[in-house]
Structure 1
Amino acid sequence: MPKKFVTEAVMIAIYGQLLVPRSPVEYIVPYTTIMELYELRDSDEPVMSHPDDDRQVKLRIRELISYFEEPLNSKKINRALNVPWAKSPAILLGGQAQLTIINSIDNASYGESFDPIETELLLTSQREKVPVLTDQFELIQRIIEGSVPVQVFDIDDFEFAMEEETFRSSH
């Protein structure tokens, strides 16, 4: 059974190591973060601070979008969009990695402390009982400070997170 994490689609584009884990992994990705890829692709704002890194990440974003738009993958994604909290069938991302799109709904349960996408990540983590995987230190801090009942890992700790045995309701 694969290890599961809730994350944003852009994390998969930025961090190539997420596509080549040592053991099976499933990324549960809120659909709104897929839509965010289109915004990042079309924006003149840099995603990364270094120009070469930014070009590389924008190329990966375009490749990921193209992959999601392939007929079979598009059909899987669209299947999840009819019902709130429905999940798509798994989309393979390589030998050991797969992605499941979830039609998460932001219900403002975390008020102004978290933006809508962050709220969807938290609600999905709680609903699916799987940890959040992010590179946003400020988000991790707000989760801890707000005593949000989810487990969260920094992407730098991905290998450690893959070795963790169970989901815990604490940080």
Structure 2
Amino acid sequence: MRRRFVIEAVMVASYGHLLVPSRPVDYVLPYSSVLELYEMRDGGAPVMEDPEDDRHVKHIIGELIAFFEEPLNRKKIEKAMQVPWRESAPLLLSDMIQFTVVHAVDNAQYGELFDPIETELLLTGMKLDIPLLSDQFEYEDRLVEAGVPVQVYDIEDFEFAVEEGILSDDMSIT
């Protein structure tokens, strides 16, 4: 069974171990995070502090963009973009990794506490009832403080999340 995670597209490019999971995964990406890849590729700002790492990550970003632009994948994404909250058909990167792009729609419910991408990530996790993967401690803390009903794993706990994870039932207080 594939484990599903909501994640920003750039994180897949930034963390190499996400591309070699021990079990099949489905990375669910709000469409706006896919669009961010273009900004990161074309913008002058570095993605990583180390110049060599930055070149490598930008190369992976370019490969991901090319993957999303493949005709069949583009068609699947365009179909999902026709209706809010529609999920694309699976975009198969390998036998272990697939992407699902979601036409997430920001709403004002969390707009004051989170930026638009963060809001779309948490709403996607809530709507689809799947956990988030994040590398931003501040974001994780704000999710907890705001009482957002979504499970979040730090990127450092990725293998645990894939192998074992925490079931929603285990998180409820009795």
Give the shorter-chain TM-score range: over 0.9
Question: How many aligned positions are there?
Answer: 170
| TM-score (ref. length: structure 1) | 0.95
| Aligned residue number for residue 30 of structure 2 | 30
Partner SS state of residue 98, structure 2: strand
| Aligned residue number for residue 166 of structure 1 | 167
| Aligned residue number for residue 127 of structure 1 | 127
Distance 1:99 1:167 in 2: 23
| Aligned residue number for residue 67 of structure 1 | 67
- What is the CA-CA distance between 1:167 and the residue it aligns to? 3.2
| Aligned residue number for residue 83 of structure 2 | 83
| Aligned residue number for residue 154 of structure 1 | 154
CA RMSD of aligned residues (A): 1.2
Deviations along 1:8-32, whole A, 9 cap, x unmatched? Answer: 1111111121121111111110000
Deviations along 1:65-121, whole A, 9 cap, x unmatched? Answer: 011111111111111000000110001122211110000000121132100000000
Gaps of at least 5 residues in structure 2 are none
Percent identity reads 56
Partner SS state of residue 107, structure 2: coil
Q: Which amino acid aligns with 1:166?
A: L
Q: Does 1:103 align with 2:103?
A: yes
Gaps of at least 5 residues in structure 1 are none
Contact conserved, 1:19 with 1:93, CA < 8 A, in 2?
Answer: no
Moved over 4 A (4+): none
Residue 14 and residue 72 in structure 1: after superposition, are their counterparts in 2 closer, same or farther (change >3 A)? same
Q: Which amino acid aligns with 2:168?
A: F
